[in-house]
A and B are shown apart, each in its own frame.
Chain A
Amino acid sequence: MRVAAYRYLLGAQVRSQSQYRASFLADVIGSLMFGVIDVAGVVVVFRVTPTLGGFGFAEVFLMTALAGCAFALGDLAIGNVERLRQYIRSGLLDALLVRPLSSLAQLAVMDVATRRVGRVAFGVVMVVVATAYAQVALTPARLALLMATPIAGAMIFGAIFVATATVAFWWVESGEIANGLTYGGLTFAQYPITIYGALFRRLFAYAIGFAFVAYYPTLTLLERADPLGAPPLLGYASPVVATAAVIAAGLTWRAGVRHYRSTGS
Chain B
Amino acid sequence: MSVIETRGLRKQFTLRVKAGWLRRHTRIVAAVDGIDLTVERGEMVGYIGPNGAGKSTTLKMLTGVLYPSAGHVRVCGLEPVGQRTRLARRIGVVFGQRSQLWWDLPLRDSFMLLQHVYAVPAADHAARLARCRQLLDLDPLLDVPVRQLSLGQRMRGELTAALLHGPEVLFLDEPTIGLDVVSKQAVRAFLATLGGTGDTTVVLTTHDLADIERLCRRLVVIDQGRVVHDGSLDDLHARYGSRRRLVVDLDEPLKAELVLPGVTVESSEADGRRITYALDGTTTAGDLVSRLAEVAALRDISVLEPAIEDVVARLYTRLLPPDPGARGA
- Give residues in A with beta carbon < 8 Å to B: 2, 4-5, 8-9, 12, 15-17, 19-20, 90-92, 94-95, 97-102, 258, 260-262, 264-265
Contacts and interface: CB of A to CB of B under 8 A. Distances in A.
Contact of A15 (B31, B91, B105, B116): B105
Contact of B113 (A12, A94, A258, A261): A12
A9 B56 contact: no
B116 A4 contact: yes
Listed from nearest, the 4 A-B pairs whose CB atoms lie closest are A16-B104, A100-B88, A8-B116, A100-B85
B160 to A, nearest CB: 15
A262 B65 contact: yes
A104 to B, nearest CB: 13
A17 B86 CA distance: 31
B104 A19 contact: yes
B84 interface: yes
- Most B-side CB within 10 Å, residue of A4, A90, A258, A262: A262
B110 to A, nearest CB: 8
Contacts, number: 78
A100 B99 contact: no
A12 B107 CA distance: 12
B93 A264 contact: no
B88 A9 contact: no
B316 interface: no
Interface string B278-315: 00000000000000000000000000000000000000
B276 interface: no
Contacts of B88: 98-100
A95 B102 contact: no
B49 interface: no
19 contacts: A2-B117, A4-B116, A5-B117, A9-B117, A91-B97, A91-B98, A95-B98, A95-B99, A98-B63, A99-B117, A99-B118, A100-B85, A100-B88, A258-B67, A260-B66, A261-B66, A262-B65, A264-B56, A264-B57
Contact of B91 (A4, A94, A98): A98
Contacts of A20: 104
A91 B118 contact: no
B60 A94 contact: yes
B207 interface: no
Contact of B86 (A94, A97, A100, A102): A100
A261 B11 CA distance: 10
A90 B95 CA distance: 12
Contacts of B118: 99-100
A264 B65 contact: no
A262 B66 contact: yes
Contact of A2 (B60, B64, B119): B119
A233 to B, nearest CB: 42
A8 B117 CA distance: 8
Interface centre among B63, B67, B105, B117 (most CB of A within 10 A): B117
Given A8-B116, A100-B85, A262-B65, A94 B98 contact: yes
Contacts of A100: 85-86, 88-89, 117-118
A101 B117 contact: yes
Interface in B52-95: 56-57, 60, 63-67, 84-86, 88-89, 91, 93, 95
Contacts of B95: 91, 94-95
B85 A101 contact: yes
B113 to A, nearest CB: 5
Contacts of B98: 90-92, 94-95
A5 B100 CA distance: 15
B109 interface: yes
B102 A12 contact: yes
A19 B63 CA distance: 33
B218 to A, nearest CB: 23
B116 A5 contact: yes
Nearest to A261: B13
B113 A16 contact: no
Contacts of B104: 15-17, 19-20
A253 to B, nearest CB: 14
B13 A8 contact: no
A5 B119 contact: yes
Nearest to A265: B56
Nearest to B81: A258
Given A8-B112, A264-B13, 19 more contacts: A4-B119, A5-B117, A15-B104, A15-B105, A16-B105, A94-B98, A95-B95, A95-B98, A97-B63, A97-B64, A97-B84, A98-B88, A99-B117, A100-B86, A101-B85, A102-B85, A261-B66, A262-B60, A264-B31
A186 to B, nearest CB: 30
Contacts of A99: 88, 117-118
Nearest to B93: A98
A5 B112 CA distance: 11
A100 B78 CA distance: 14
Contacts of B99: 95
B179 to A, nearest CB: 18
